[in-house]
Amino acid sequence: MVRSALDQIALEVRDVHKRFGGVHALKGVSFTINKGEVVGLLGDNGAGKSTLVRCISGIHPPDEGAILVNGQPVHIDSPLAAREAGIETVFQDLAMVPEFDITENLFLNREILHKNPILRRLGWLDKKAMEKRAKKALNRLNSRIPSYQEQIHRLSGGQRQAVAIARAVNWGADIVIMDEPTAALGVEQSAQVNELINVISSQGVAVLLISHNMQHVVETCDRAVVLYQGQSVADVSVSDVTKEDLVGLITGAKSAA
Give the percent of the chain with pLDDT over 90.
47
- At residue 1, the pLDDT reads 41
Determine the pLDDT at residue 11.
97
Alpha-carbon distance 70 to 159, whole Å? Answer: 30
> What pLDDT score was predicted for residue 163?
83
pLDDT confidence of residue 42: 96
Angstrom distance (rounded) from CA 94 to CA 110: 16
Identify the domain containing residue 13 by its residue range: 7-94+171-249
**Model pLDDT, residue 2:** 44
Counted domains in the chain: 1
Q: Which amino acid is at 145?
A: I
- Looking at the domain assignment, is residue 243 inside a domain? yes
In the chain, which residues have pLDDT < 70? 1-6, 93-94, 256-257
115 vs 159: CA distance, rounded Å: 31
Residue 7 burial (10 A CB sphere; 0-12, 13-18, 19+):
exposed
Q: Is 70 exposed, middle or buried (0-12, 13-18, 19+ CB in 10 A)?
A: middle
Q: Has residue 133 been placed in a domain?
A: no
pLDDT reported for residue 5? 58
Asked if residue 138 is part of any domain, the answer here is no
In this structure, is residue 116 part of a structural domain?
no
Q: Would 141 be classed as within a structural domain?
A: no
Could you report the per-residue pLDDT of 30-86, keeping only the tens digit for each? 999 999 999 999 999 889 999 999 999 999 999 999 999 999 999 999 988 998 999
Q: Domain of 191: which CATH number?
A: 3.40.50.300
C-alpha of 250 from chain center: 21
- End-to-end CA gap in the chain: 31
Query: Is residue 204 included in any domain, yes or no?
Result: yes
